[in-house]
Amino acid sequence: MNSGPYLNRRALMGRTAAAGLFTVPAVSALTSCASGGGDDDSVEREESTDANPFGVSADAELEVVIFDGGFGDQYALDAEKIYQGSYGTVEHVKTTEIQTRLQPRMVQGDPPDVIDNSGADAMDIAALIRNEQVLDLTELLDAPSLDDPGVTVRETLMPGTIEMGQFGSDAVYRLSYAFIVYGQWYSRTALNRLEVEYPRTWDEMLAVCEKAKQQGMAGWTYAGQYPYYFNFTLYPFIGKIGGADVLRAIDNLEPNAWRHDAVKAAFEAYYELTARGYVLQGSPGLTHEESQDEWNKYNALFIPNGSWVENEARKNTPADFDMAVGPPTSLDSSDAMPFETLWASASEPFIIPADAPNVPGGLEFLRIMLGRESARNFTELVSSLSCVRGAADGLELPPGLSSAQETLAAAGDNIVIPRLPDWYRQLNNEEIGGAVAAMMAGEIEPDEAINRCQQAADATAQDDSIQKFQHV
């Protein structure tokens, strides 16, 4: 544990919140309350050098909060050891309750220095930006990289990483550390047992699911309690059918964007899975982990997910499972984009609060994480690509990650990156997710689900309290 006034202040705040002396505000409260405006414990910068471009104080302590989800926290602990080799000690916190635990501190102006703002309880990044509570990371991107001072951090990143941190301006407010391949995850062993190939068209998908059903196996399962997981395949499916412009219109909250023919075709195709009994019974009530467990038990062929699933489901994955991922199955030959099209983007977003006591240390910690040693360690530990170019080259990868890398390479430039999930978190997770969930549970039909999505998007567009973003 750390010592001194720096830790005492933070420890007091943590204990006070835990004791219930702080009331956790709702998301709307955060959007209406600006930060407290800093404190007297802020660490001042020392003179910048080639080895210390941000002027981190030699004994500057750091507080890092990590989302304890599919990636765990060991990769962060390892990066913290590197930081401590040159600077002060690190107070490490892991939690699944990011918003619950940190939102009060953000409002009070007493945040940690680095936050892995991820998971179902992540803070609304748009609200943080609007209230000037999160730091622009351009200084980090323009700094020399850890491994080669002649190359900037910006130049080491995978395509799309910087864009995922931008919200309608050139400023970059978050660093998404993992590079995720979203798609239809499956077991090669399961398909081989059925003697079928990965379905490339929707007719082939229905035929594969029917064969599975005849042998007592469901075609699909999903995280019904977190229905936005379905969007990991549904959004790129829509883009594949109608083109990337359809997704851009949805992101931009354009009138009737959800009523595009591509959306209708995608919803009707997914609804057919439910109507024909190809979805595992009970899926609407499953958590993400429970749905993955059913999939690991060979009770379902496909699950919509991201490439963190291999690590998250590792303890329950059979040795013979041979995990793999494919792009969303195409509708038919009339699709606007090729079969290989998929959603792949930087994820697992890290932010530095604007009121962080040790901003230089936070920037240096992220620079360390973007170094080759930390990036390779991340891939080896959690079976996920990082946002650092070439960091996984030469590594022996597990089957799921190897498949993700192959699927990403096959896609080439045919990558779609929906921004609705991070521009309008509540709209995506609750309204859109809720409409899709009701449809997949058989409670409503596709037309009603589409109407709900469009009505929710229109309400968001008309709500002046919600900051709007546009593709540029």
Question: Cα(156)–Cα(450) distance, rounded to whole angstroms?
Answer: 41
Give 338-389 pLDDT, tens digit per residue: 999 999 999 999 999 999 999 999 999 999 999 999 999 999 998 889 999 9
From the options 3.40.640.10, 3.30.530.20, 3.40.190.10, 3.40.50.720, give the CATH code of 181-345+401-462: 3.40.190.10
Question: Cα(308)–Cα(310) distance, rounded to whole angstroms?
Answer: 6
Give 186-221 pLDDT, tens digit per residue: 999 999 999 999 999 999 999 999 999 999 999 999
5-176+347-390 against 181-345+401-462: fold identical: yes
pLDDT higher than 60, residue 74: yes
Whole-number pLDDT of residue 20? 35
- Are 240 and 328 contacting, i.e. CB atoms less than 8 angstroms apart? yes
Question: Cα(271)–Cα(265) distance, rounded to whole angstroms?
Answer: 10
Q: Which position has the token pair 């009970």?
A: 282
Q: Which position has the token pair 């390892």?
A: 78
- Are 314 and 391 contacting, i.e. CB atoms less than 8 angstroms apart? no
Whole-number pLDDT of residue 9? 36
pLDDT higher than 90, residue 75: yes
Calculate what percentage of the chain has a pLDDT beyond 90.
82
Burial class (CB in 10 A: 0-12, 13-18, 19+), 397: middle
Question: Cα(14)–Cα(461) distance, rounded to whole angstroms?
Answer: 37
Cα–Cα–Cα angle for 238, 209, 189, nearest 5°? 105
- Are 83 and 109 contacting, i.e. CB atoms less than 8 angstroms apart? no
Largest CA distance in the chain: 70
For the chain, the structural domain boundaries read: 5-176+347-390, 181-345+401-462
Q: Which residues contact 239 (CB under 8 A, 6 or more apart)?
A: 246, 247, 262, 337, 341, 343, 416, 418
Question: Cα(103)–Cα(303) distance, rounded to whole angstroms?
Answer: 32
- 112 versus 10: the higher-pLDDT residue is 112
pTM of the complete model: 0.81
Question: Cα(319)–Cα(385) distance, rounded to whole angstroms?
Answer: 22
* 100-113 average pLDDT score: 96
Fold of the 5-176+347-390 domain? D-Maltodextrin-Binding Protein; domain 2 (3.40.190)
Whole-number pLDDT of residue 41? 57
Give 276-316 pLDDT, tens digit per residue: 999 999 999 999 999 999 999 999 999 999 998 998 999 99
pLDDT higher than 60, residue 264: yes
Pairing of strands 218-220, 300-305: parallel
Whole-number pLDDT of residue 158? 92
Whole-number pLDDT of residue 467? 86
Question: Cα(356)–Cα(220) distance, rounded to whole angstroms?
Answer: 44
Whole-number pLDDT of residue 245? 97
Q: Which position has the token pair 């990483």?
A: 161
pLDDT-based confidence at residue 59 (cuts at 50, 70, 90):
confident
Give 2-37 pLDDT, tens digit per residue: 333 333 334 333 433 333 333 333 333 343 343 334
pLDDT-based confidence at residue 472 (cuts at 50, 70, 90):
low
- Return the sign of the alpha-carbon dihedral for residues 13, 358, 363, 78: negative
pLDDT higher than 50, residue 394: yes
Question: Cα(98)–Cα(94) distance, rounded to whole angstroms?
Answer: 9
pLDDT higher than 60, residue 445: yes
Whole-number pLDDT of residue 120? 85
Mean pLDDT of the chain: 90
Instruction: Please give the backbone phi and psi of residue 53, each rounded to the nearest 5 degrees, phi first.
Output: -65, -20
Task: Tell me how many helices (H) and strands (E) the chain has.
Answer: 20, 11
Q: Which position has the token pair 């899926």?
A: 283
Question: Cα(235)–Cα(134) distance, rounded to whole angstroms?
Answer: 28
Q: Which residues pair with residue 148 across a beta bridge?
A: none
- How many angstroms separate the Cα of 6 from the Cα of each of 38, 40, 41, 120? 14, 10, 7, 30
- Are 112 and 358 contacting, i.e. CB atoms less than 8 angstroms apart? no
- Are 218 and 300 contacting, i.e. CB atoms less than 8 angstroms apart? yes
- Are 185 and 305 contacting, i.e. CB atoms less than 8 angstroms apart? yes
By C-alpha distance, which of 157, 261, 281, 171 is closest to 221? 281
